[in-house]
């Protein structure tokens, strides 16, 4: 158990600066998910925490200790790798015992911890098998087991679910979350999958090109994204972005339709006629289908219908923007149908088109 703090962190690979300048505080016992598109430097950041990569500037603190030059072996952290990285020549039991043996734990203690961890993860039945004889899901569990028995200061996970099939992934996601709540150790979990981030995190760190975009609780990130990147990255299907202009008390869309300003947070800070490009961001789930000709909402024509069972996604085009709305399946919409969409009050976001920053 330990807090983590990164201060003015710089990481380069030769000429390539992967992390230009990064600050991050992770309190003790928090489950933090680092999320961002592939190649944004998440793994690099995690490996820096692990001591597997050197840094080119700044400070890495684990607990009260400055660990800049401390090798991975001395950091007392555990890591679950994307490919699990189990020792192929060792049985599951030996895999789990290895780190404890290195620490010089006694036999009885090692046995006790393995028993406990294997009960927690339900891997007791194949303790004497080699990794080769296990399925992907089982290997994943063993990798977790190998981390748990350590009782480390910090757990690091590098996309541990990406090699599992979709169904298993959802199940393991829930398990890891339950596990995290049980063991309550500081955990840093890296993923490019925003659903994993939303479902598991105490706090989410959204990264892009080595720069932290936003840090916050999942609902904060979802409800109040600080910029268009975060807004578009978190949430599925992604937020729709419509260019708008301010007209009196309304926002005018490219098509000439208007959205009442009072329903949009941040509208009050805008003044009419401003020479500023503004983008209205609305999530698909915040567009309600109101049926045709009720006088309110924005009329659109349905291009494509994707029934999900509980909801239906309708694809439409507004001006030159392709957009999606998540509506009730009871509307029974078909391609070509006309429908009016009403933004849920208080849910839309405004962004400065140029900087991408949210207008609060």
Measure the CA–CA gap between 27 and 39, rounded to whole angstroms.
26
Is residue 71 near other proteins by the rule CB under 8 A? yes
Dihedral angle of Cα 202, 360, 296, 243, to the nearest 10 degrees: -100
**Which lies closer to ligand ADP via its Cβ, residue 52 or residue 90?**
52
Residues near ligand ADP (CB under 6 A) are 13, 16, 18, 36, 38-44
Residue 44 interacts with, from Mg ion, other proteins, ligand ADP, none (CB under 5-8 Å by kind): ligand ADP
CB nearer to Mg ion: pick between 81 and 98: 81
CA–CA dist 66, 299 (Å, integer): 59
Q: Which of 52, 127, 263, 353 binds other proteins (CB under 8 A)?
A: 52
Q: Which of residues 42 and 141 has its CB atom nearest to ligand ADP in the complex? A: 42
44 binds Mg ion (CB under 5 A): no
Residue closer to ligand ADP, measured from CB, 36 or 145: 36
User: Measured from the CB of residue 211, what is the shortest distance to ligand ADP in angstroms?
Assistant: 12
CA distances from 31 to 45, 80, 86, 183, 340 (A): 16, 15, 24, 11, 41
Are the C-beta atoms of 339 and 298 separated by less than 8 Å? Answer: no
User: Smallest Cα–Cα separation from 85: which of 131, 121, 54?
Assistant: 131
User: Does the protein bind other proteins through residue 13 (CB under 8 A)?
Assistant: no
Q: Does 68 bind other proteins (CB under 8 A)?
A: no
Q: How far is the CB of 335 from Mg ion (least distance, A)?
A: 39
CA–CA gap between residue 349 and residue 360 (Å, rounded): 8
- Closest by CA to 237, choosing from 287, 199, 190, is 287
Decide: is 215 part of the binding site for other proteins (CB under 8 A). no
**CA of 311: how far to CAs of 94, 120, 302, 327, 356, in Å?**
48, 36, 15, 6, 30
Residues within the interface to Mg ion (CB under 5 A): 43
Residues within the interface to other proteins (CB under 8 A): 50-52, 71-75, 77-79, 81-89, 98-99, 102-103, 131-132, 146, 150
């Amino acid at each position: 158990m330990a807090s983590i703090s990164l201060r003015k962190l710089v990481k380069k690979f030769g000429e390539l600066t992967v992390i230009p300048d990064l600050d991050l505080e992770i309190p003790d016992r928090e489950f933090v998910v680092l999320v961002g598109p592939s190649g944004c430097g998440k793994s690099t950041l995690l490996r820096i925490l692990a001591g597997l990569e050197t840094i080119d500037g700044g400070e890495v603190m684990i607990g009260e200790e400055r660990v800049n030059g401390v090798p991975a072996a001395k950091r007392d952290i555990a890591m679950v790798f994307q490919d699990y990285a189990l020792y192929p020549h060792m049985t599951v039991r030996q895999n789990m015992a290895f780190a404890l043996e290195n620490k010089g734990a006694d036999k009885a203690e090692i046995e006790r911890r393995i028993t406990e961890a294997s009960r927690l993860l339900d891997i007791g039945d194949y303790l004497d098998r080699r990794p080769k004889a296990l399925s992907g899901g089982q290997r994943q569990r063993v990798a977790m087991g190998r981390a748990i028995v350590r009782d480390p200061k910090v757990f690091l996970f590098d996309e541990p679910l990406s090699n599992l099939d979709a169904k298993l992934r959802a199940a393991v996601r829930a398990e890891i979350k339950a596990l995290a709540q049980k063991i309550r150790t500081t955990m840093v979990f890296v993923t490019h999958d925003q659903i994993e981030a939303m479902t598991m995190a105490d706090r989410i760190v959204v990264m892009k090109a080595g720069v932290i975009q936003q840090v916050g609780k999942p609902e904060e990130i979802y409800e109040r994204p600080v910029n268009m990147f975060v807004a578009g990255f978190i949430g599925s299907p992604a937020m729709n972005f419509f260019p708008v202009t301010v007209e009196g008390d309304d926002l005018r869309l490219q098509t000439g339709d208007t959205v009442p300003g009072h329903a949009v947070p941040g509208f009050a800070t805008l003044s009419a006629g401003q020479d500023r490009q503004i983008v209205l961001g609305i999530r698909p789930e915040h567009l309600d289908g109101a049926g045709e000709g009720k006088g309110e909402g924005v009329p659109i024509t349905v291009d494509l219908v994707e029934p999900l069972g509980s909801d239906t996604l309708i694809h439409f085009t507004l001006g030159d923007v392709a957009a999606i709305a998540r509506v009730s399946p009871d509307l029974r919409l078909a391609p070509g149908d006309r429908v009016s969409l009403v933004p849920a009050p208080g849910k839309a976001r405004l962004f400065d088109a140029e900087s991408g920053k949210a207008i609060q």
